A = this chain, B = another copy of it.
Amino acid sequence: MAKAPARKTSKTTRVAILGFGTVGSSVAQLLRAQRFAGIELTHIYNRGVERKRTGATAKGLGAGIVWTEDINDVLRSKVDVIIETIGGIDPIEGWLKAALKSGKHVVTANKQLIAYKGAELARLARANNRVLVYNAAVAGGVPVIPATLHGLQGDRITRLSGILNGTCNFMLSHMEHGAEYADVLKQAQAAGYAEADPSADVDGYDARAKLCILVRAAMQTGISPDDVPAQTIRTIAAIDFQYAKELGCTVRQIACAELRDNVIHARVGPMLVPKSSPIAWSHGTQNMVVTSGRYGGDVVFSGHGAGGNPTAVAIVSDLLSVVHGATAVALPVRRRAVTGEFVAPHYLRFIVRDKPGIVSAISGALTKVGANIDSILQRPGYPKDALPFVVTTEPCRTSTVEKAVRLISKMDTMLEKPLCLQMLTDED
């Protein structure tokens, strides 16, 4: 057992912020507004820092702060804690390693860095008797990582599912009311939720990195984002929400992981979610996570997953943990096999040039691979030469239904590649 650590002393903690964009400036302003005892913001690093120093987001910050665009001004300084809000792996990885080696604690919101390099950075932190904290990297203002690390370690978490990307949730919850993908993307970009290149959000790379961090915290298993299949939401159309509604569902970008027979099953992508499920409660940019434990059952966490202030709350809470003497806990981390395979019902949406025998050909392909049809839905009012219709399957393996999709894609009546979505059930 660890020796009980020394208590908080009255020494001031000097803090540097790397990156003065939405999150970095929100952290600085939150520190200014809350005036926590014993914390002093001493350095702010940003490229082209002069523009930042004289901008509106710097208003009211102390005159004593060193504003710099030379990272060495921070790394060679006597700051105690570095808060990193820039994102990305290169050059941040090198900077934070240098920071840990020179005796600085690190607080970061960098999901890609932690997902890919978290284990290595944690080892380096421990070796240097420093703390690395990254609660802001997952679900922003929703404290699911600290809750998991401090409140659920006694359980055996067997399933995680959730909405980890606010941009996709904003887009899909707007599409629920009839809008098409291209229009909601423009809306999301205009509102500042989506980047000019929306790939990280809509193609699932952002949610996937967060899922890997969650799996590590909740299932004590190190997995790489590269091992987790990510399906884009670009192929979702307004018609899918109409069919989903007929099935008592909606469509959301879901990140999920299951621990079954000592294998991690993990996947990110648009899925059908029952309206009765807590996961369907999330609207707009909200995030939500449901953890399922063998002993404690389901726990639901929900709130603002992104934005300057909610993320700043997570970062400043991490900073306070460090100031109050948080320890670099060495989580037991297991190696386990990872697969994208789930056993679940699936939703298949086809756009076809209608002619007799299509349903029989599709059901033939499904039978051939061993998947059973649960329902066939065809809404009226669509043209025969571009007819959308939907087949849902009984629970079957992802690879089985994908085999059927490959067979069906080859049929000459198919106007586009069939859309295949996993369906969550009320038990999920």
A128 to chain B, nearest CB (A): 9
- Interface residue A361 (Cβ < 8 Å from any Cβ of B): no
* Bound Cα distance A3, B34 (Å): 24
Are B303 and A302 in contact, with the CB atoms below 8 A? no
- Interface residue A71 (Cβ < 8 Å from any Cβ of B): no
* Bound Cα distance A168, B135 (Å): 34
Are A146 and B154 in contact, with the CB atoms below 8 A? no
Are B299 and A154 in contact, with the CB atoms below 8 A? no
Determine which of B143, B298, B325 lies in contact with A5 in the assembled complex, contact meaning CB atoms within 8 Å.
Answer: B325
* Bound Cα distance A150, B6 (Å): 19
Determine which of B7, B148, B154, B303 lies in contact with A300 in the assembled complex, contact meaning CB atoms within 8 Å.
Answer: B303
* Bound Cα distance A30, B155 (Å): 8
Contacts of A148 in B (CB 8 A): 143
Contacts of A130 in B (CB 8 A): 4
Question: From A80, which residue of chain B is reached at the shortest CB distance?
Answer: B1
Question: From A31, which residue of chain B is reached at the shortest CB distance?
Answer: B154
A397 to chain B, nearest CB (A): 30
Surface stretch bound by B, among A86-94, A199-207, A306-314:
A306-314
Question: From A126, which residue of chain B is reached at the shortest CB distance?
Answer: B7
Surface stretch bound by B, among A49-57, A187-195, A289-297, A339-347:
A289-297
- Interface residue A317 (Cβ < 8 Å from any Cβ of B): yes
- Interface residue A211 (Cβ < 8 Å from any Cβ of B): no
- Interface residue A395 (Cβ < 8 Å from any Cβ of B): no
- Interface residue A196 (Cβ < 8 Å from any Cβ of B): no
- Interface residue A301 (Cβ < 8 Å from any Cβ of B): yes
- Interface residue A278 (Cβ < 8 Å from any Cβ of B): yes
Q: A296-B303, A296-B304 are in contact. Are A1 and B8 (CB under 8 A)?
A: yes
Q: Mark A1-20, 1 if CB is under 8 A from B, else 0.
A: 11111111101110000000
A284 to chain B, nearest CB (A): 11
* Bound Cα distance A147, B24 (Å): 22
Surface stretch bound by B, among A237-245, A326-334, A370-378, A385-393:
A326-334
Contacts of A295 in B (CB 8 A): 30, 309-310, 312-313
- Interface residue A223 (Cβ < 8 Å from any Cβ of B): no
Question: From A125, which residue of chain B is reached at the shortest CB distance?
Answer: B4
A260 to chain B, nearest CB (A): 18
Contacts of A322 in B (CB 8 A): 1
Contacts of A146 in B (CB 8 A): 146-147, 149-151
Contacts of A315 in B (CB 8 A): 154
Q: A151-B143, A327-B327 are in contact. Are A332 and B37 (CB under 8 A)?
A: yes
Are A328 and B4 in contact, with the CB atoms below 8 A? yes
Determine which of B129, B278, B297, B301 lies in contact with A4 in the assembled complex, contact meaning CB atoms within 8 Å.
Answer: B129
* Bound Cα distance A18, B320 (Å): 33
Q: A8-B2, A9-B2, A141-B299 are in contact. Are A327 and B330 (CB under 8 A)?
A: no
Question: From A287, which residue of chain B is reached at the shortest CB distance?
Answer: B299
Question: From A151, which residue of chain B is reached at the shortest CB distance?
Answer: B143
Determine which of B11, B151, B156, B298 lies in contact with A147 in the assembled complex, contact meaning CB atoms within 8 Å.
Answer: B151
Contacts of A212 in B (CB 8 A): none
A–B complex contacts, Cβ < 8 Å, 12 sampled: A2-B5, A3-B325, A4-B325, A7-B330, A141-B155, A152-B317, A153-B321, A281-B281, A300-B301, A300-B302, A324-B329, A327-B327
Known: A141-B296, A146-B146. 18 other contacts (CB 8 A): A1-B322, A1-B325, A2-B9, A7-B126, A141-B293, A141-B297, A141-B299, A146-B147, A147-B301, A154-B312, A154-B316, A154-B319, A155-B316, A295-B313, A296-B303, A296-B309, A299-B301, A300-B303
